[in-house]
Amino acid sequence: MDLPSISRKRLLTYVDINRQFTLSIKEEKVELHFFPNTPEAIQHFPGGGEVEHIMLGILKDDVIYFTEFITRSSLGETRTKLEGKDDPVMEWLKYVD
């Protein structure tokens, strides 16, 4: 599949260490939620409110393929369909240990 991906085990380990992330896997459906909490991110939040990021994906052969990126804030919700394994929205996956 030509989508951003990561092994299920690697992502589970990362989520276990980084508590701002929550991961839900139900059969083949995957949802990864997080609220950025770095000072650099917080200064850009609209109206000082929280911003939630949600990544939707599918689990296939123990690999999670991400298909969509959602952002929710006081300004509403935006959805981005991911295109290609090197989609810049998912660049952070390359740094997950």
Task: Confirm whether pTM is higher than 0.75.
Answer: yes
d(CA 71, CA 10): 23
Residue 71: which domain range?
5-90
Find where tokens 């939630």 sit.
52
Inside any domain, residue 96: no
Count Cα atoms within 13 angstroms, Cβ side, for 8: 15
Inside any domain, residue 31: yes
Dihedral sign for Cα atoms in the order 65, 10, 39, 86: negative
Inside any domain, residue 39: yes
Inside any domain, residue 32: yes
Q: Give the tens place of pLDDT for each residue, 18-59.
A: 888 999 999 999 999 988 665 555 555 556 667 888 999 999
Is residue 55 within 8 A of residue 32, CB to CB? The reply is: yes
Q: Say how many domains are in the chain.
A: 1
